[in-house]
Structure 1
Amino acid sequence: MTRTVHPIETQSYRIIRSVVDTTDLAPRSRDVVERIIHTTADPSWRDDLVLDEAALDAGARALADGAPLVVDVAMLAAGVTTYPSVCLVGTAEARDLAAAAGLTRSAAAVRLAAERVGPGAIWAVGNAPTALFELLRLAGDGALRPALVVGLPVGYVGAAESKAALRATTLPQLSNVTARGGSAVAAAAVNALLYGDPLS
């Protein structure tokens, strides 16, 4: 995606590269690591992320081809300003399904989205571990076939466990090891796949 890079962003990336060595990473992996560090001002993400270059490249190509982007919360959608997303967590349907099925709204929204988008979507989870667990259940049942799962939920209840469960699958994926994550981090990962290297 072509965009105008602000001089502050350019300077920020030069500083990041003076602080963190990312030269050994493949291009998409480097884009993701640097964009997340840029978003968080936290170089320790370099060693927390679990990266798969082929999966990231497939995700970037899917986005370039206009694949659906499904996100778990509106905050994540707001962070991806140049690409439309599907976010059903705030809908009456998600509220009603959550109440009827004993799910969180985030998990209910994932279940509804799986019925509405076809195979080859990008699924980004930045907030709710229950959304990622439901995504994994549906994928295991064959109800969805993602081009990429960005699994970066945050929290002390289920976040690290949901990401470990993601890594135990063969789904094309991006995750991190610890309990940290969040909507801004997941949005940064998606933006990295959309924008590429701002210094190139």
Structure 2
Amino acid sequence: MEVILLERIAKLGQMGETVKVRDGFARNYLLPLGKALRANAANKTRFESERSTLEARNLERKSEAQKVAEKLEGKSFIIVRSAGETGQLYGSVAARDIVDVLAAEGFNIGRNQVDLNHPIKSIGLHNVTLHLHSEVEIAVAVNVARSAEEAERQAKGESLTSADAIYGVDEDALKPEDFFNPEADFDGEEE
């Protein structure tokens, strides 16, 4: 199906372009959300008459997104979750959780604007990309920790999942022969 784009869509085209897309994508996403019109003569004339208002609305949304991006620039958000000794979370941190933390800080971000391909399943610092507008995206740091104190230590660069932090062992001092001695008898004594 050919459609006329009413806004810029990543990996598809710019506003005003006529592009060919799959029927299901057009019927289920582009047309219901008002992102495109079917490419026929009536809609082409309608688009040309409304082009200036669409461009103005798009520019306004872009400027609002840039203001939000400036406020988010360099911010880090802390999410406290239960985790095991190795840093594996007992649950996970999904896009919904990130939206909730952002809302608590006063940012109105939709779940579909959070680019998180896989849920976060371990403690640590994670970069998450937010798509505020089709032309504006920003990465924010999400600090997942077991407590607020632990989050502060992680923010300073301290690793909380290394062997030294967990077991009090210096990883650099460990050698392979400390774990396996081929000349040892099965009872652990050397021959």
TM-score normalized by the length of structure 2: 0.30
Higher helix share: 1
Q: Which has the higher contact order (CA 8 A, sep 6+)?
A: 1
Larger radius of gyration: 2
TM-score normalized by the length of structure 1: 0.29
Higher strand share: 2
